[in-house]
Amino acid sequence: MRPEGSLLAGRAIWLVVPPAYFGLQLAVVAAWPVPYEFLHHTVSDLGWTTCTTEQRPGGVLRSCSPRHAWFNSGGIVLYLLLALGAVLLRGLSTRPRWFVALWAVIAVFGIATSLVPGDVSIELHSLLAVPLFLATLAVLVLSAATMRGTFAGRAAAVTAVISVIGLAGLVLALGGRGPVGLMERLAAETVYLWVFTVAVVSRGRSSARSAPHPVEGRSGGSRAGLPW
């Protein structure tokens, strides 16, 4: 596929995935017979296959997700699409191999957490979630570093800071000092806002990839300018 076509296809995929992801959550939440508390319930609770009442760090929570199959199967599809979009958009990063590798890690462990819901094995589910969180933060940091001077790079830096705050807050929340659900979302879901931003700001710039202009680097050499 030509660079222009690759950019357009990747942008289209990343434009669709974020609203589809959040829309899927709302559709699953709508079927809950008990209240879903966004501050305290985790995203993973949407994929639990059984109805439970548990003592959580923030108190007693009831969980019941009749549409858990929607969430788990939908998650698998969306993680695959995220990775495909990254492959198609790898030319937007000056470290394309690292960019694709990190998105591959996100996809693999995101799919793994979908295949092993928390009520099946909370230990394994939690273990699989750790590299997912870390790779999500890493891809934002890498993007901020390799896309400096662009709107997408600045957006990546902002979302990376939010993710760090979320991860720190999540550690505290798991110890009973804060809303687990909110902190988890700040740590892991702000990347979807960045993905959507990339899809929007790269619009109409595919022609720049086919005719790059040199940009002076620190070493005095030149490199192709990013298309956005």
What's residue 222's pLDDT? 36
What's residue 81's pLDDT? 97
Mean of the per-residue pLDDT values of the chain: 87
Q: What are the tens digits of pLDDT across the range 126-168?
A: 999 999 999 999 999 999 999 888 899 999 999 999 999 999 9
Above pLDDT 70, what percent of the chain?
87
Q: Is the pLDDT of residue 1 over 80?
A: no
Q: What are the tens digits of pLDDT across the range 44-102?
A: 999 999 999 988 877 789 999 999 999 999 999 999 999 999 999 998 888 999 999 99
Mean pLDDT on 203-228: 39
What is d(CA 17, CA 12) in angstroms, rounded to the nearest whole number? 9
Mean pLDDT on 159-185: 93
For 156-219, give the DSSP string.
Answer: HHHHHHHHHHHHHHHHHHHTTSS-HHHHHHHHHTHHHHHHHHHHHHTTT-HHHHHS--EEE-TT
